[in-house]
Structures are given as C-alpha cells and as structure tokens.
Amino acid sequence: MKLKVCGMKHNPLELLPLEPDYLGFIFWEPSSRYFGGRIPQIPETVKKVGVFVDTPLGEVLEKTGKHRLQALQLHGKESPGYCRELRTAVKALPDRTPEIIKAFSIGEDFDFSILEGYMEPCDLFLFDSKGKLPGGNGHGFDWSLLMDYPFDKPFLLSGGIGPESVAPLRDFLKSPASKYCIGLDVNSRFEREPGLKDVELLKKFKALLYHGPSTQNQRK
C-alpha cells in the first residue's frame, strides 16, 4: 500500500526517513499550500508530484522540467482531451515520462461512467471528497460508494484521512471496494499549519496502518 503525502511546502526533507512513495507539491496559487520555491534534492525512489488545477499545458510542462517531476496530478476539471494532449506531450520529454494522476471528487451523485474517457491517458485516479477547494479540505466521503467503481484502473484514496482513520481504513482495505486501491493520499490532517507536516503524527500513522495487523491489501 503506497503512501502519498500532499501539500508539501515547508519541510519535505523531514519526511524522507518515512520513505513515502510520493510527495505532492501544489502549483495552484490560491492554495495556502502553494509551492513557489525550488524543490530540494529528493531521492528518485520518492516520486515528486506536481499538483495542478486547470493549468495551461505549457505551464505544466514548464514546471515538469524545472522540478523534474515524476508525476502530474490534475485536480481541476481537466477534460479527457486535455489529458490526452498532456500524455502526448510528456511522452516527448527527453529524460522521463511522468505518471498522470487524475483526481475526482466523489459524492452520492457521482457518475463513475465519466471516468471512461480518462482510462487511456491516465495512469492513476485519485478519489477525493467534495469541498469548497480542490483538495485539502480535511473531510472525507463515504468509501462504500467505491463499490460502484466499474473499472480496473488503480486509484489512490484521499479525503480527510487522519490519525484516527487507521481502524476505518483497515475495514475498507478488507472490503471489495478497495480492490483497485493501491495507496493513500494524506494532507491537511497531518499538519501543524498549512504545508508544514507533523512528522511524528505521520510516523505513528504509518506504523499503525502499515505494520499493525495484516490486511489483504498490504501486498500492493
């Protein structure tokens, strides 16, 4: 089960001993976690994710090259056509082809059929909760809604996951709804302030969830 820590701003290097699989850097200026500096040197084993919200393609590519991003998370209303254009563009990059992660806000009325157009250009989906802002809202959604997920595209689970989520997550990971869940995305519930992660909280969470009683999905 992979771990993505998003909304990195102030202390990304402090998280490296936790060996996260992804660190997310938000390039959407209205966010309180907007990252405007230069990403420090991070081992290649930890994927640097650029998070974008309805960003012009050229700007995404500029940030990808500047920061040597290994994954691009689209957290707005990007169309399947936009994703296909981005897929074509990143394939032409000289030294890497970043993963494309498309985020969707899940609620009771979510129509999973709209995902079909994103299947080919995207590597991963990310399922988040609905909120006023695109991500980092601190509240979750009903994970049982993912029982209706009709595809085999792997996804990351996000939305309000916090230190107290270990037991519910274990239950979710034992359920059929988690069949294609390959990882978790955490953010605001593990902060001392926006963009400043609480390393000890993350350490305890990871130890309890990943090294506690086994779940059927820990092999992922």
Q: Is residue 200 part of a domain?
A: yes
Any bridge partners for residue 101, and if so which? 73, 124
Q: Which structural domain, as residue segments, surrounds residue 57?
A: 2-211
Q: Is residue 19 part of a domain?
A: yes
Whether residue 144 contacts residue 181, with contact meaning beta carbons closer than 8 Å, is answered with: no
Q: Is residue 199 part of a domain?
A: yes
Strands 2-5 and 181-186 turn out to be parallel
Q: Is residue 218 part of a domain?
A: no
Q: Which of 53-62, 129-138, 154-163 has the lowest mean pLDDT?
A: 129-138
| pTM, two decimal places | 0.91
What are 121-150's pLDDT values in tens digits? 999 999 998 655 554 445 678 899 999 999
In the chain, the percentage of residues whose pLDDT exceeds 70 is 91
CATH of the domain at 97: 3.20.20.70
Whether residue 26 contacts residue 39, with contact meaning beta carbons closer than 8 Å, is answered with: no
Q: Is residue 153 part of a domain?
A: yes
Q: Is residue 12 part of a domain?
A: yes
- Domains of the chain: total: 1
pLDDT at 212: 62
Q: Is residue 54 part of a domain?
A: yes
Residue 205 tokens read as 């969470």
Q: Is residue 73 part of a domain?
A: yes
- Its sign, for the CA torsion 7, 11, 12, 15, is negative
What are 162-205's pLDDT values in tens digits? 999 999 999 999 999 999 999 999 999 999 999 999 999 999 99
E strand segments, 19-68: 22-26, 47-52
